[in-house]
Structure 1
Amino acid sequence: MDILNNERKEFIKASIESALNLAECSPFSPYLSTSNGRYVLECENQEQANMEVDRILEQAHGTEHYCFTWDGYATEDGIKRDAAFLEIGFQGQEMAKVLCQFYELDDGRVSALEPAFVTREKPNRLGSPLMGVLTEDERGLIKTSPVFVFLAIAGADGTVDKKETDAFIQNLQSPPATDNGLIRYVFADCQKSGLQYINAILGSRQLADPDQTFALIADAADKLGENGSELKSTLFDLAKRIASSSGGFLGFGSKIGKEEKAILDIMQMHFKC
C-alpha cells in the first residue's frame, strides 16, 4: 500500500481492529472515523450512508484522514464469507483505497481470517477540489452538473426515456481525458452516483427553470477559477454532443432540434463559451 508514514499505518491498523471489534455485534452500522471525530451512520442503505459520508467530510475542515467502514460479504473461491470493508483516504492523495477484511464469528468472538487486502481504488473524498471553497448547495450543483446538462438537453422535448438514460450512464464510463483535477473529480463522482443524481434532479424543481440553474452552476464554477472555466467548457461540449447525437453519443436523431438549441443558447449565455 502507498502509505507514507507510521502515523498512517497506525490509523489503518486501528481502523481494522475497530471494524473487527464491532463485527462481534454483526451486522454493525456503517460508521465514519476521521482525525476530527467518529460518526455512526444511521442510514437505511449503503447509498444513503455514502451521501452522509460526503456531507460530513465536505463540512469537516482540516480533516487529515478518514475511514468509512461497513459490514458485508465477499466471495472467495466460490465461498461467500463475512467481511468488513474499509474505505481509507488521506489528505493530499488523489485516490482512496478500499480494503477487505475477512473474519469469522465463533461463539460471539471475531477472528481475522487473513490480513486485510486492497480490493480497489476510488477517488479520495478528501481530494475534492470543492471543499472549503463552495457552499454545500454550490458543491451539489457542481457535482451533479453533467447529469443536469444531460437531463436539460435530453428532456428538452418533455421526456427522458430509459434508453437515453442508459446510454448516458454508459458514456460516463469514458470521462473526458484531461489533467484538470476538478473535471476528473466531477465525472468520477458521476460515474459512481449518476443514477442517484438523475433521480434527485427529476424529483426537484431544477428542470422547471434551467435558466436559473445554469446561472447558479456558472456562478459556482467561476469561484473555482481556471479549473471552473474549463469545467464550463467541458459541460458545454457535453451538451452539444448530447444535442447533436448524430449516431454518436446517444445514437438518436441527426440534428439539433429547436428545444435543444434553446437550452444550448441558455448555457452559452451563462457559461460564456
Structure 2
Amino acid sequence: MSIERRNFPQFFITAPSPCPYLPGRVERKVFTHLVGQDARSLNTQLSQGGFRRSQNIAYRPACDGCASCVSVRVPVNTFDLNRSFRRNLKINADVDSTVIKSQATSEHYSLFRSYIDSRHSDGGMADMTVLDFSAMVDDNFVDSRLVEYRVRSDINERGRLVASVLIDVLGDGISMIYSFYDPDEARRSLGTFMILDNMARVKRLGLPYLYLGYWVRGSRKMDYKAKFLPQERLTADGWRLHREAQD
C-alpha cells in the first residue's frame, strides 16, 4: 500500500436518526477521524468543504433528499458592523476576552451546565457529565483554544466568568466549535458578542474567515447566524456570497 493511500482519510456514514433541527426529518452524517500529525491541515481542508469538528471527528450532513444544513463563514474584512452590533459591543465594554489552552475546569463546566439546563435541557448535550465535557474541550489533535469572557470586578481580580467558546485556528481563519454563556445575562446577547469578538480576532491574525457552522433555514436555533452579513454559504458550486439574510 502506498504512503498516499495510507494517509488518505477514511470516511464513514452514520445510521439514520431524528433531525435535531427540523421536526419530522431524518439525518445522516458522513465523518472521518482527525488524528495524527496531519490533523491540523486536514481540519482546515475539511472545514473549507463544509465539515464541522466534534472532538476527534470531522463530520458533515449527508441526508437523503435534504440539503437544509448550509455551511456559513463570514469574510471579516467586508463584514458590516451595523448599529445593532455596535450597541452590543458597547453593552459589553466591561467584558474582557482571554484566549487560553483548551483545557476544561470546574468553573467552565458549572457555566456550561447552567447554560444547558436553561437553554437546551431537551437537547443532545443535556446528559453530559463533567468527564464528557472535559473530553469535548480537551481531546483533539488540532489547533484548538478556549476563549474566556469575564466581567471586570473590584471584588474578583480575575473577573466573573460569563461566557466561553471553544475555537479552532485554521489555515484561513477561526472556526467557532461550541459556545456557552450565563443564561442570566440575557441583556448582553453574549452569543452575538462572542461572534463579534472572534471576528476581531481573525482580523488580528491576518486571516480572512470566521466559520460559524451550519445555518438551517426554518430552524429557530440557527436563525441568528443569518444576520452576520455579508456572509458566504457553501453550495454545490462552491462558496457563494450573500448580502441579505434570506437571499
Point out the structure with the larger helix share.
1
- Report TM bin, short chain: under 0.3
Point out the structure with the larger strand share.
2
Higher relative contact order (CA 8 A, sep 6+): 2
**TM-score (structure 2 length as normaliser):** 0.26
**TM-score (structure 1 length as normaliser):** 0.24
